[in-house]
Structure formats: structure tokens, C-alpha cells
Structure 1
């Protein structure tokens, strides 16, 4: 290759200038050190060789963006590149009459993996049709979504309000893919899913995500519950994917006395390292607190759980959390594209890195390890991953927040009975009540619309509704009840006596779904929670939570 020296030098200088301008750095900082300069020069050489000597004409834009993607692949699971045309489309999708389906999801880890729904927005389109956290998106409008990145999935799910999109998912435990036709809509912005008094002492607050308004919502609900006699709190962060860091810090601040470290970040650039501490005047600084978490609790919810655990302020109950603690910052590039680069990591007050370990951008190993370590016990943890809380308790590092009490799946629990699981896997409770409610809405609203308390106390699933549900299950499940002794081990067949044995749980599911239709999504939690294993376990652990609270009483 014959390159004119002046032209080559000019091209190299332009590349350096663009790099420095795009990343907000001075050129000398971008090429500090002989090795950095040489590697950047090598990248330029390779680009020019391919551009000029490859057997077919190449697209320089494709080459450049492929090189960027290759560099990011060697970093971490959350640093990404957004092409200029996708940036514009994403911005446009948030204007005018564009809408979505109301889910949070994590993208595919590999080309053979699928995006996983981490949570559904209450009262949003997806929740209303029965999409659930943990569902794996395998197709959108009958076109494969396997290996699809976050931007591509968002592009296909978003559209004009009122239009429909078909989403096919694989649900853990289900034996076949499930199809959901979802009508796009404007997505509700509130972040507190439910807040109510469990009994005359116990308040319950579920935070679905950390948004701009979360702290204000949290304060309003806490004041209302305290006025009703709340003396202890269940804070439910299950399926909370995170969101805005500062609002998570503010929520934790309301539960901690002044001067406590809530979270700190460390980055290579000193400007990215900071410490968040609690301030005076929290709403609930001394009373017992239990925090519920699971494998879909990530980022901001891990900040809250980690801070409260490290300060012995709350008892953490559930399953190991997701383990996302990488802070990304967007850097606009010269053509309007954006480089979303990890600049720092979160640490809990005791020094635990919340981030699940990963190696050289190995996404598959990253996600596999997170799942594999979710049920660790203290006896299985090496000393290097053990940390001490403010009052000397041992807590575990190594990625995510390991609860103080790990709730494992108990197959004998009625909520996990095969017939109940079959109904939940197929979302038959959601789908049936939606259909039944639409056919009886006028009469139901006339009887119950202004009588929520009476509904909660007195409504029962009668025999007619019970039988109608099973007729629907047979047609739409398909889920069939057969006479005792005739139940073959075939999929979707259960003895009638088994369904009757678990009628209380199934009827509770139907009642909770009906309450969500009559009122709001939040109305279902007071009905649903008492049959749910994590919640039941939490209600048995107040003595342990009270022992922690005693550390903080003056």
C-alpha cells in the first residue's frame, strides 16, 4: 500500500481530534503513553488496509461501528454503542403518540440467548395480559428475537398507541411457548406499586422501580401508613430493576440515621468516585424493617438492600439479587451516535462490590454465574468474600446481595403445587378474569366500584365462577380436570380432587386479579401476598428484624 505521508498524517490527526472531542478529553490525554499511541496507530493501519485493499468495496461506516462493537465486547456486559439512526429513533419514540408495552427487560447475553422480562409495569399493557417477570422473549410478531440487542427489541416493541404487537415467550416451568397479543399504550409513570396496612402494626410498600418521583411517592405513602399506626415495615423490592440512583439513595436515607454511608462509587477517573451519606430527619429510622428481594432486584434496589443490611438496619429476605453495579455515562460521538461506557462501580458501605463478576466481556458466563450463585449459604462462601456489618454480622460479597434469610422453593407449599403452577405458567388467572370481567363489567362496577373495602372482605369465588374458570382453562390452557384415578401423566391433565385441594389458593388468585380490574393493580397485593411464600416467610421473622432495630434505638 502506498500512502502519501502528508495525507496519512492528516487522517491520523483527524482521528485523534474526533476522539478527543467526542469523549470530552484533550488529545494528549487520549494518547497518553507510548503503548496507547501505538495501538491507536495500529487500529488506523488496519482500517486503511481493509478500506483500500479488501477484495470488495467496503462500507467505512460499517467497519468503524464493527470496530467499536468489538472493543466494547472486551469490556463489560453493559457498555454499549447506539448508532446515530437508532438514537434518533429512540428520541422520536418518546414523542407524540408513540407507546410501549410496559416492561423492563435485560437483553440477550449471547447470540443464542433471549431477552428476559425483569418486571412488568403495574396496570401497563403487558401486566394486563399476563406477561410475567422471568419470561424469555423468543419472538416479536412471529419474527425471532433470539440474540437481539436492547435497542432492536425496543424498536420492535414500541409503536403507535392503540396498535398491537404479538410477543412470544418461554416461561420457566412451562412446556411450550406462550403467545401474548399486547396493545401498545402510554406507560404509567408512578413507581410505588402498592402501599397498605397488612395488620394494625405492619405496613407494606412495594417499589416497582426507582424513577424521578419515587422518593416523593415513598414519603407520601409512609406518612399515610404511619398515620394509620404503622410500627414496622415490609419494603418489597422484588422484580425492581433499578432506575435512577439518586432516588434509591433518598429512599434508603429515610430509613437510616444521619451520617451513614449509603453507597459509594469508584472509577479510574477521580471525578467518577463519590460517596452518598444519609442526612438527618428520616421518616423511619428506628422501627423494624424487612426487605424482600429476588433475582430480578437490581441496581438501585441493591443499593437500598445493601445499605440497610450493612448497617444492620433491616432484615433482607428472599433470593440473591441480580448483581448490577456498573455506572454508565453517555458520550456523544461526532456523527450523532452515542457510546455508553461504564465509568465506575457501586460498593456497599461494608465494601462489597455489588456487581456480579465477569471476565473480558464474557456475557454468557456473566449471566450463568449470577444464576448459579443465587442460593449460596454462608458455609459455602470463602473468607475472601465475607464482610462485617456495622455490628459485626457476616455478610457476603461476590456479586448481588445475599439475603439474611434465603427463601428456597418448597415444592410442598400450596402456591407451588403443580396445578397452581400450571395455571400461573399459562397466565390463565389473568386471561380468564380479563375475559370474564369484560363480559360482566357493568354489573360488577354497579355492585363493587365504590365498595373496595367490602369487596376485599366479603367477595368470594362462588361455584359458578369456579366452574366457568375451568371451562375456560380447558379451552384456552389447555388445562383439563379429569376424574380421580383417570389422571394420566400427560401435560395439562390434573385430577379434579387436586384442583379442589388447592381451590383456596386458586380462588385467591382469581380474586386478586379481579380486584386489579375493578380498582388498580395495587389492590391485588393485599389479597395475593398472604398466599405468597416470600411474604409468608417474612411475616414470621419479626423477632429477628426487631433485634436489628434495637441497635438503632437511642
Structure 2
């Protein structure tokens, strides 16, 4: 009995020591926090009152906060009162803008995804373009939210965007007119395939009710004619609500399966989200299309379906945004958007690509998380640290300088407008077979041109020959080179005939039959989608990607 009492006392003492130690650590933390805030307050007061030049507490504190957060990760940002209002406008579902999502790639701000159908997309901007300036404002030192806000303005107002594109040495300038941006979840739903048995859904974001909208769209297509497979298109989808991503996976996997896990320093942010309902389409073959514009919630869905061997992922590597943010309200109508945890797929891998600060130091990345290997449910090997890598990689063809110039200048639109004004709207006649040859004549008549590195080099030479001993001969040679370059540009039109004919057909259909038919026409020219459909129609080949 005495020994039992002694044992009980010992347990109580151990418990008391553990609790005391935890309390002391907590006490130490709060003491240090109070101490440092006191030092900071004293410093701000002394600088405000005694510094040689006039300063304001607001400017000093704002700069201090931004400097502090810059040492953490790119997505942890302070939102002041003015920015709070703009953020509410941006997230309300409709605003005046150009339709793009900005994010980090290393220490550079890039376009994550241009929204199809809006000014940024129509002008030829694409995922991965590095944003240099917005309306002449240098964006270095800004965060993606700042850049996003710079693009917002009155509907119909003009804005200028300067970007740098990989493979092109010179910066590119775009002049864009802001439009009302209506944020929709499903951009397009259709039936594709040789017998129209494949359901296709292009999800542009994971907003409220996204999963339910997908569910209803698939049910409607299946009721019309039994589906033989499904394509989920997440290309240029920057993400959205995590719960919508989980509910979407719910449609395709059995209940009780881990979809995503979040892990943070604080236990309150450690969550495990699993499927909860019987699947709507448990056995239908499924492919998911991704590219470098697929981020966040898009990657959660793609990663879960890949880890569970429930879908074949087709396209290009995704963006790699696997950090979870929470908005914490602060005093005086300000707030803090703070990274609280990381996403992990069912296999345990992180989808976060490496983040680097301006000085090259790695930020917000687990120190032991460098390209570790994980296994899917069937035993296939997958890697972490690079976003989601596709099972079947298909590179989308890069646009040429000619193609960019034609889109940027709205030449397709103007030509089709003129053609239709001459002939009238005759959508029942289809796309005229002579459209390309007429388009070439239109370009020549209107002296269409586009700038190349060779043009800039010749222009520089032209300016330098003023002091050349044989100026007239040199200028004659330069003019001959310019003529050759003009001929070469015309030949490029014929070399790019196939893609030009595609864009002419799409523009023609858009203006004669409407945007919905135009989207359907685009699917016929989509090489990545075609490959996904071929895969779904060949069950043996489809299964071969899911078995190690």
C-alpha cells in the first residue's frame, strides 16, 4: 500500500514538473515577445522624435513589418486598410482587370495563369512570363498580391504590362483594356472522343460550389449518354478553396481515403482531410490535364488522384504552390496573410517547389525534403519538391514571334470583322476555304510587320553608319538586308499556315456562332487533350500508366 502511494506521488511530481516546464517555456516566450516589442516601440518613438529628417510612425512601422515578413516566405504579407478593400473587391467574384493570377518563381513574380477568354489570355500572355512592370511601376520588391492589385481598375481603362519571356532576350510590352472579370468555376463542359463518350470539364478555379458544379455537369452528361471516361482540365487553374478540392476527389475514390494532409508548427493547423461519400464515378477511366499554371488546390486534386492511382496525369509539371495561408485580422482594419502549414498528398510528399529569396537562400522548405521518393498505392514512384510531375508529359507548342504579334495586335479579330462586314454573317456556310489566302493579302495590304532581334540589330547598324567612310554603300547593304528580312517574314506566314488557319477558324466561329462554339472548336486543335482522349479510349495503354 505504501509503495502504491509512493508511486502515485512520483507520478504527480513528474506531471507537475512537465507542466511547470511547459509553463516556463511559454512564460519565456511571452517575456521575450514583450521585451522585443518594448524595444521596438522605444526605437520607433526615438526615431520619430529625434531623427534629423522628419519621419512618421506609420511609414517606419510599415517598412519594418514588410522587412520582417520578407525574411519568411513570399506568401506571408501584411495587408493595410487600403489593400484590404481592394482584396475584398478582387475576391468578390467580379472586378475590372485583365484576368491573370500572379505568383512567385524563385524571387521573381510570374504569371501563374492567364484566365482564358480575358485580355491577358487573348493578348498572348502565358504562365511563366516574368512580370517586370505594371503601368511603368517596377514590381521588384513587391509581392504577388501587390502586383495583382496594380492590375485592378475601372472597366474600360487601359493598362500596360512589361514582361520577360524565357527564350526571348528583349522585354515584351502589352497594352491591355480592363474588362469585368467574372470568376467562374467551370469554363467549359463538353463531350469529346471518337464516339463522344468522354466527358470533358475545364475547371478554371476552385471557388464556392466548384465540386458540386462538376458533379452536376458529369451527371447531366452521363444521363444524356453513358460516359466511357472523364477528362478534368486544370490547366491554368490557380487553385482556390481546399474543401472544394477534397470534395472533388470525393467523386472518384471510396470513402475514408486520405486526400490531403496539412502540417504546421501549431497543432491546430495539422489536419487530415479524407473522402467521406460513396464515389459517383468509382470505375470510370480518368485523366487530369495540368501545366505550369496549375497551382494550389489544382495540385491537391492532381496529386491525390495520382497517389491513389485513380487518374493518369497528362501535360506539363504544375506550378508547385504547396503552402497554406490564413488571413488573421489585425487592428485598424488591417490583416496578416500568414503561411501556417504545408500541403502533403496521400503518399506523404509535398507539392511545394523550392522558394528562394533574393540572396539565394532557401525559404519555407523542409531542410530534409530534397527530391525524396514516395510510392503510390500501386507502388509507382513519385517525387516531391517539384509540384506535380505528369505521368504522360506533353509539351505545348511555344508561340512564335509572328503568332504573338498577330494575337497581340488583334489582327485576327480585325480581319474577320472586315470580312464579315463585306459578306454578312453566314454561320451556316462554315469557315470559308479561302480564308487563309485572303488573310495573307490583308496582311500585305496593311503592311503588317513584327519586330525581331534582327530588326533591332539592323536599326542599330543604321544609326551607326553616319560616320562610316562609305556611308552610301553601307546603307545600301543595310536596305538590302531589310528587304530580305521582309521577305523572310512573309515566308514565315506560310511556314505557320497550320496554326494561323486554326486561329482564323476559331475567330470566325466565335463571331458567327458564339463563344461556346468557339471553345468547342478549340478542343479540336488541342494536342494535349487529344492525347488524353486517345489514352482513355485504349484501356490497356491507360492501365499501363497506373501499374509499376
The structure 2 residue matched to 1:255, chosen from 239, 252, 255, is 252
Q: Describe how 1:457-536 pairs up with structure 2 within 5 A.
A: 460=433, 462-468=435-441, 470-471=443-444, 474-477=447-450, 494=488, 499-519=493-513, 521=515, 523-536=517-530
The equivalent position to 1:230 in structure 2, one of 227, 235, 243, is 227
1:389 matched residue in structure 2: 376
Cα pair distance change 1:521/1:326, threshold 3 Å: farther
Q: CA deviation at 1:299?
A: 0.0
**Structure of higher CA gyration radius:** 2
Structure 1 position 425, deviation (Å): 2.9
Alignment of 1:407-426 (within 5 A): 407-408=394-395, 415=397, 421-426=400-405
- Quick check: 1:326–1:344 contact (8 Å CA) kept in 2? yes
1:286 to 279, 283, 286: 283
Cα contact 2:102–2:147 (8 A) shared by 1:
no
Q: Are the structure 2 counterparts of residues 518 and 84 from structure 1 closer, same or farther at C-alpha, using a change threshold of 3 Å? A: same
DSSP-derived class of the 2:355 partner: coil
1:134 maps to 128
Deviation at 1:85, TM superposition (A): 2.7
Residue 208 in structure 1 maps to residue 195 in structure 2: no
Q: Report the alpha carbon displacement of residue 349 of structure 1 after superposing the two structures with TM.
A: 0.7
Moved more, 492-501 or 156-165: 492-501
TM-superposed CA distance for 1:463, in Å, is: 4.4
Match in the other structure for 1:303: 300
Q: Determine helix, strand or coil for the equivalent of 1:186.
A: strand
Q: Which residue of 1 aligns with 2:457?
A: none
RMSD of aligned residue pairs (Cα, Å): 3.8
Alpha-carbon displacement from aligned partner over 1:338-389 (angstroms, at most 9, x marks no partner): 1111112111011111122336x5686669x9xxxxxxxxxxxx99711111
The match for 1:401 is: 388
Change (3 A) 1:51 1:548: farther
Separation in 1, partners of 2:296, 2:54: 44
Q: Distance in 1 between matches of 2:260 and 2:292?
A: 20
CA contact (8 A) 2:371 2:385 kept: no
CA–CA distance in structure 1, aligned partners of residues 312 and 184 of structure 2 = 26
Q: 1:254, 1:284 within 8 Å by CA — same for their partners in 2?
A: yes
Name the counterpart of 2:342: 345
Cα 1:253–1:471 shift into 2, 3 Å: farther
Aligned position for 1:374: none
Provide the C-alpha distance between the structure 1 equivalents of 2:361 and 2:521, rounded to a whole number of angstroms.
39
TM superposition shift of 1:248: 1.7
Give the drift of 1:142.
Answer: 4.3
Q: Evaluate the alpha carbon distance shift between residue 362 and residue 345 of structure 1 in structure 2; reply closer, same or farther with a 3 A threshold.
A: farther
Q: Could you tell me the TM-score, scaled by structure 2's length?
A: 0.77
TM-score normalised to the size of structure 1? 0.76
Cα deviation, 1:55-87, whole Å, max 9, x if unaligned, reads 334311222222211221121120001122322
Structure 1: runs of 5 or more not aligned: 1-27, 370-381, 410-414, 480-485
- When residues 285 and 94 of structure 1 are mapped into structure 2, their CA distance, relative to the original with a 3 A threshold, is closer
CA distance in 1, matches of 2:176, 2:27: 47
- CA offsets 1:266-323 (integer angstroms, 9 cap, x no match): 2222222222211334332211111111222110110010000010001112222111
The Cα shift of 1:399 comes to 3.7
Structure 2 residue 426 is matched with structure 1 residue 447: yes
Confirm or deny that 1:428 pairs with 2:407. yes
| Alignment deviations for residues 446-472 of structure 1 (CA, whole Å, 9 cap, x no partner) | 312xx5xx74xx654534433246438
